[in-house]
Structure 1
């Protein structure tokens, strides 16, 4: 049984169809796929010629993980995040997030795209075999950088295994990153467990090429 939630499978299938990529390895309900293709965020990601397929996939993944594919335009406090950061769009934090301001879907995409371009630059620098990975594999590394940060990635067993040529072992590290800090205590969080399990499967089994 797949560990990738049905809604995420549907969104990724819609993206693959919109960008005209090959594959066909993702089976979802056709009616659901049509609905997902109408999602404005997925359309924006698919239509941008300036980003790689890996970035497109990673951004759609984050849209599901962070907001269940619903655009969030008003900043909120992430009470489960480290330091409870002010957050908006699909998990954006930092100086770009201003309390009380409304962020349109287009502005969210612009801010998120800028960050994912940076993640890709970092991934290419850190991962010895980056160019040999399928876009789905690359996307899981980008999602890790978005969710856990470059510092955690740079010291991770995931990176060490990947650069030793053990890409399958690197993929299997994803489910281990399932903890967050709750009231000062490291705790397994269901959302992070779901993200890790799904990314582990996507990294190991899914292919676009």
Structure 2
């Protein structure tokens, strides 16, 4: 049984269809607001010629993991994040996130795209075999950097295994990154467990243009 949630599988399938059709339409039930919003976001990601397929996939993944495919335009305090940072859009933190400001979908996409281009530069720097990876594999590394930071990857067993040519072992490391601090105690968080299990499966078994 797949550990990738059905909603995420549907979103990634929609993206793959759009890219495979050269930008053709992918239709969902317009009566379902969340699905309609997801469809619009996926079409925006697929239509942007300035980003790679790995970035496109990673952005759709984060839209699910961070906001269940709902646009979040008002900054909130991430009480489960390290330092409880002010957060907006699909898990964005940092100086660009200003309390009291409303971020439109266009604002979020612009900021997210800029971040992901930076993640890709970081991944290329750290991962010896980056150019040989399938876009789904690349996307899971980009999602890791988005969620955990480039510093976490740099000193991780995930990176060591990847650069030793053990990409399967590197993929499996995703499942270990499932803990956060709750009231000062290291705790397995369901959201991180789901993310890690899902990314492990995507990294090891999904391939662009076909899914095994």
Q: TM-score, normalised by structure 2?
A: 0.91
Alignment of 1:45 onto 2:45: yes
CA shift for structure 1 position 21 = 6.4
Matched with 1:158 is: 158
- 8 Å CA contact 2:179, 2:186 repeated in 1: yes
Q: Write the deviation string for residues 132-157 of structure 1: whole angstroms up to 9, x where unpaired.
A: 10000000000000000011100000
- 8 Å CA contact 1:37, 1:43 repeated in 2: no
Structure 1 unaligned regions, length at least 5: 23-29
Q: Write the deviation string for residues 35-55 of structure 1: whole angstroms up to 9, x where unpaired.
A: 569622111101100100000
CA shift for structure 1 position 89 = 0.0
Matched with 1:184 is: 184
In 2, Cα distance between the equivalents of 1:64 and 1:142?
Answer: 15
Matched with 1:5 is: 5
Which 4+ residue blocks in structure 1 deviate beyond 6 angstroms? none
- 8 Å CA contact 1:21, 1:208 repeated in 2: no
Residue pairs, 1:4-43, within 5 angstroms: 4-20=4-20, 35=35, 39-43=39-43
Judged with a 3 Å threshold, the aligned counterparts in structure 2 of structure 1 residues 38 and 63 are, in CA distance, closer, same or farther, namely closer
Q: Output the aligned Cα RMSD.
A: 1.9
In 1, Cα distance between the equivalents of 2:152 and 2:113?
Answer: 21
Q: TM-score, normalised by structure 1?
A: 0.92
Judged with a 3 Å threshold, the aligned counterparts in structure 2 of structure 1 residues 165 and 38 are, in CA distance, closer, same or farther, namely closer
Structure 2 unaligned regions, length at least 5: none
In 2, Cα distance between the equivalents of 1:122 and 1:21?
Answer: 30
Q: Write the deviation string for residues 147-198 of structure 1: whole angstroms up to 9, x where unpaired.
A: 0001110000000000000000000000100001111111100000000000
Q: How many residues align structurally?
A: 202
In 1, Cα distance between the equivalents of 2:42 and 2:53?
Answer: 13
In 2, Cα distance between the equivalents of 1:173 and 1:38?
Answer: 29
Residue pairs, 1:1-209, within 5 angstroms: 1-20=1-20, 35=35, 39-208=39-208
